[in-house]
Structure 1
Amino acid sequence: MKPLAVDRVLLVTDTVERLTANERLTALVKARAGRRPLTLTVSAGPDEAPSAIREGLARVLDGQIPSSQPALELRVADRSESIDSLLEAHDAILPSGAAGDRQLIVTAWQRGLCVINAVEQAEEVAALEELYFEGGVRGGRPWYSIMEGNPVIVTNPQHIVLGYGARINPRAVIHNENVIEIGRGSLLGADAELNLYKAKLTIGQFCHISSYFAAIGSRHTLQFPATFSVSRGPYAFLGQPADKVSNIVIGNDVWFGTRTVVLPGVHVADGCVVGAGSVVTKGLREPYGIYAGNPAKLIRFRFPAHVIKWLCAIQWWDWSTAKLWQARTFFRSDISGKTEKELWQMIESMGSDA
């Protein structure tokens, strides 16, 4: 067991102007007030003088650093420091959002670093004091979130937010112009294809999404003479890129079998299981339902009604890591035949304060 916190953050920017306009930076520093010491290192473009970087950083943090801040170390990376050595020396990166950051973001995920891509994430990371129970990458150093192997393509990684313990397996194809959120502990399996266009994809906590999963955020136009919807290239003038764009929301503790397809606008309730090869055309609204087929339909439930009601009430996916660890035997137990009283007794006997 190891403690895990984000104490060393690498700020990557091409210009001082981008640095001073970064709301995630101010959110990080504000939320860190009264907590652990924090080191911020700035790696800027070759045309930016170190003195200008320090002045810009001082401006953006002026009045943002409370007296209760234990220690805030600000430094500018030396030109001789390679990006590899900087990534190795830090727990997280906070990119500026420039186009040149895209490959760096992917590289950071491959090394197990936290990539701060949203204001809300910056606030969460500032307060992070987690526990890590398994040897990670980089010589056993714990990882925050990870992209294993190489993706085929990720068009906008700066719009992707990975929670603590989230993983993306190899060969992902991700076309996104909007936000993708993958929650704490969730897995996006190998060879996933997220063809989202302008739709937002939200994946809750502790989901297992098996290989060859496909999420489609838009539909081709049917009312026009041509269904052609390629938005780039010499024939882009033939039509709109999409007729309908709808967000996809996947709850917590959801398991998708291999080669499942999710269409635009789908909402999946907590605890659902979707059988291999299923096509999800509309919302799966019943918590802990088992769905399968094309289109996916409710087959049965994972548990009796009273157990489902109890699980929905305790929302175990929001428990702290320490509490999950205390209750680890519970998560390896068959609870389908338990009464509500017996369920509470199981939790209490494991030292949890649930």
Structure 2
Amino acid sequence: MANGELYYAFSPDLIADRQRCRKAYQRLNAAGDVSRRELVELWKDLNCDETPLPPQAMSQEEDDMLLQDWPWIDSPIRMDYGHNVKLGRNVYVNVNSTWIDTCLISIGSRTLIGPNCSFFSGTHPLDPTLRNGTQGPESGKPITIGDDCWFGGNCIVLPGVTIGRGVTVGAGSVVTKDVPDHVVVAGNPARVIKKVEVSVPAETIPATSTNINYAS
């Protein structure tokens, strides 16, 4: 499944995996006004992330500072599996995000995601006979998004798309193809509108990975 091969989504093990994920995101969505540490723990549970958090600080403010690099997720959020979504440092996800994480969805550090955005790494056969409702196979392609991107509200990213570093995606856009670094794209399908002039040379900005030990 994660490698893009055909699979059957309604097999017992995948049904159980989605049920686990659903319970986890429902806990996060129902959390309400809780501490930053509790929110991070709920995200870790949804994401199946076993990275240990640093010991709790004496004050709430100090503890929040310890966790400042962890992603900030505003609920509600919905995912299929949870463990196929990897978020870098200082990522912000606004309300009502949807993640069809059949394959890996990787979001670079310092990326900002507006409300009602959707990331679809799963897909179905075009042949309706092969598609065959809940009895047919599905597949997927990974989504990769670079550091320092900004998604306006109501954006959709489709399977197999790679978006470069420092990209702005206009509100309401549907991204169907790869996007180069440092451009603004908008529309359905999204097209390059203009290039973005960066204030410092790109080679001097350290690239960061979504495979991060936030506790370090």
Q: TM-score by structure 2 length?
A: 0.68
In structure 1, the residue matched to 2:158 is: 263
Aligned with residue 194 of structure 1, among 96, 99, 118: 99
Which stretches in structure 1 are left out of the alignment for 5+ residues? 1-98, 133-137, 146-162, 230-235, 319-354
CA positional deviation for 1:182? 1.0
In structure 2, the residue matched to 1:175 is: 80
The one-letter code of the counterpart of 1:280 is V
Contact 1:220–1:228 (Cα < 8 Å) also in 2:
no
In structure 2, the residue matched to 1:283 is: 178
In structure 2, how many angstroms separate the alpha carbons of the residues matched to 1:257 and 1:302?
Answer: 16
Percent identity over paired residues: 22
In structure 2, how many angstroms separate the alpha carbons of the residues matched to 1:140 and 1:280?
Answer: 39
Q: C-alpha deviations, 1:147-181, integer Å up to 9, x for none?
A: xxxxxxxxxxxxxxxx9231111111111264211
Which stretches in structure 2 are left out of the alignment for 5+ residues? 1-19, 209-216
In structure 2, the residue matched to 1:44 is: none
Structure 1: 4+ residue segments shifted above 4 A: 102-110, 116-119, 226-229
Q: CA RMSD in A?
A: 3.3
Q: Matched residue of 2:188: which SS?
A: coil
Aligned with residue 250 of structure 1, among 137, 145, 155: 145
Distance 1:167 1:212, change over 3 A: same
Distance 1:110 1:315, change over 3 A: same
In structure 1, the residue matched to 2:202 is: 312
Q: C-alpha deviations, 1:65-99, integer Å up to 9, x for none?
A: xxxxxxxxxxxxxxxxxxxxxxxxxxxxxxxxxx6
In structure 2, how many angstroms separate the alpha carbons of the residues matched to 1:291 and 1:206?
Answer: 18
Q: C-alpha deviations, 1:204-236, integer Å up to 9, x for none?
A: 11000000000001112211327454xxxxxx3
The one-letter code of the counterpart of 2:38 is R
In structure 2, how many angstroms separate the alpha carbons of the residues matched to 1:173 and 1:267?
Answer: 22
Distance 1:298 1:103, change over 3 A: closer
The one-letter code of the counterpart of 1:268 is I
Q: Which has the larger radius of gyration?
A: 1
Query: How many residue pairs end up in the alignment?
Result: 175
Q: TM-score by structure 1 length?
A: 0.43
